[in-house]
Structure 1
């Protein structure tokens, strides 16, 4: 109980300034605990604020990274949100509905604190991006990419994660996604083993994914560091994502990430995964 109280206290104190994460620290991928994560979450806000947009007459022109538009496009496809109009999506179940596999306390903090932090910082970065666009300051636009990628990815990834789970989840998939899994991995158990090993093996903070490749019409297991969007990183449409940042499990599972990954399979909403798979194939023309 003392560990739990200390953990929650650290989160509440450090996340009071809800922001994003400092770029160099993200690249180093050294978020060791909730307090460290909360600290770097606050530092991204300072990073965004430090970017100075030049007046139109002084701005330097050039090529804007296409990844900026891509990230907003992925968010719009998932949430139908216009750029900058980002809000915390409600869960379709109560915070304690996934117990005993994922505690209600984790779910509440994760949703209302962590996810909200990414949204707050994405909106701040978007405001600065719009200012840079109005002044045609390409340098400032590109300087904002790490913040937009991290916080936009955090918003997108968590939104998918919430829908991938259900109080009535678990078991094995059915429908066309089950056929795709069997075709690619040989069996559901073989997929489960590969997905689990990949997720447990993420170095530092990141995500484990089952994604769909539109080019070869196959599913694949992949991982991403930090909050990097799957589609931007690997060209895969996200079907099933597992958050393996420590804030997603440490309160309940401590450093036993493998136990958390195992428990996740008890709450997977395979109907949601199957729907995502069918929509992705249809969009790809298969």
Structure 2
């Protein structure tokens, strides 16, 4: 039985209202979110029908990132993960029909499912937030200034987080947390170690395949080029959509 306050409100409801108030107070000058979007049709489990999402920009027109690099990244790493995710979903569907399928083998399939789904989602966010002029603005620009003191301070922390992965593998992701109402720069190791309830807003691939062809081991130069090509309109739209969710 949930505990109730004096006015009959459950403790959970009260905490929810408090959390909502804290999140709203964090961004007092930001415009209200757009109207709710219509419900998206649900996909059957293990359908194995994922399709690569086309690039939304001309890869020959990015500043400091070659067309060869972007196309190789999209065709080999991203598309490869899409194909593997479909394959894993097919194997999971077959395993579901086999009552004698070993749990340890099923656990391996579930780990690979998590790994590949994370790769697909993060790659799609990464490519979608490229193709811009790198200039912050909109509600997300206001929010970053409020939370970090300035967009320059936020960028310095984002860069530090990204460079902590240089020479290794992983992602640097600006997230909005639907449970806490916070903006955070986080790293996601192995495509799947982001914070619970963290919604990706700005996604940076720090695996070497995303920059080695152009920059070798000079990850900091790649980071400069990435930030110069961020399409902040996309990041801003994600932020406005994410703020409609709370847990």
SS of corresponding position for 1:209: strand
Higher helix share: 1
Per-residue deviation, residues 169-203 of structure 1 (Å, max 9, x unmatched): 2112x222112211211100001000011001116
Query: 8 Å contact 2:57–2:130 — kept in the other structure?
Result: no
Corresponding residue number in structure 2 for 1:95 = 59
Q: Does 1:161 align with 2:123?
A: no
Q: Does 1:249 align with 2:214?
A: no
Question: Once superposed, which parts of structure 1, at least 4 consecutive aligned residues long, lie more than 3 Å away?
Answer: 77-83
SS of corresponding position for 1:226: helix
Query: 8 Å contact 2:78–2:120 — kept in the other structure?
Result: yes
Corresponding residue number in structure 2 for 1:22 = none
Unpaired runs of 5+ in structure 1?
1-76
Per-residue deviation, residues 153-177 of structure 1 (Å, max 9, x unmatched): 11111001011111x32112x2221
TM-score by length of 2: 0.77
Q: Distance in 2 between matches of 1:138 and 1:178?
A: 50
SS of corresponding position for 1:212: strand
Q: Does 1:183 align with 2:146?
A: yes
Query: 8 Å contact 2:187–2:193 — kept in the other structure?
Result: no
Unpaired runs of 5+ in structure 2?
1-38
Per-residue deviation, residues 61-103 of structure 1 (Å, max 9, x unmatched): xxxxxxxxxxxxxxxx9998654111110011122121x3211
Higher relative contact order (CA 8 A, sep 6+): 2
Residues 266 and 158 (structure 1 numbering): CA distance in 2 closer, same or farther, change over 3 Å?
A: same
SS of corresponding position for 1:208: strand
Q: Distance in 1 between matches of 2:74 and 2:96?
A: 31
Corresponding residue number in structure 1 for 2:112 = 147
Corresponding residue number in structure 2 for 1:112 = 75
Corresponding residue number in structure 2 for 1:211 = 175
Query: 8 Å contact 2:125–2:202 — kept in the other structure?
Result: yes
Corresponding residue to 1:123 among 64, 73, 86: 86
Corresponding residue number in structure 1 for 2:11 = none
**Residue-pair matches, total:** 204
Query: 8 Å contact 1:180–1:218 — kept in the other structure?
Result: no
SS of corresponding position for 1:142: helix
SS of corresponding position for 1:90: coil
Q: Distance in 1 between matches of 2:41 and 2:218?
A: 33
Query: 8 Å contact 2:179–2:197 — kept in the other structure?
Result: no
Q: Distance in 2 between matches of 1:210 and 1:193?
A: 13
Residues 120 and 96 (structure 1 numbering): CA distance in 2 closer, same or farther, change over 3 Å?
A: same
Root mean square deviation, CA, Å: 2.2
Question: Which of structures 1 and 2 has the bigger CA Rg?
Answer: 2
Q: Distance in 2 between matches of 1:245 and 1:128?
A: 27
Query: 8 Å contact 2:133–2:229 — kept in the other structure?
Result: yes
Q: Does 1:227 align with 2:175?
A: no
Q: Does 1:261 align with 2:220?
A: no
Q: Distance in 1 between matches of 2:198 and 2:219?
A: 24
Q: Distance in 2 between matches of 1:146 and 1:131?
A: 16
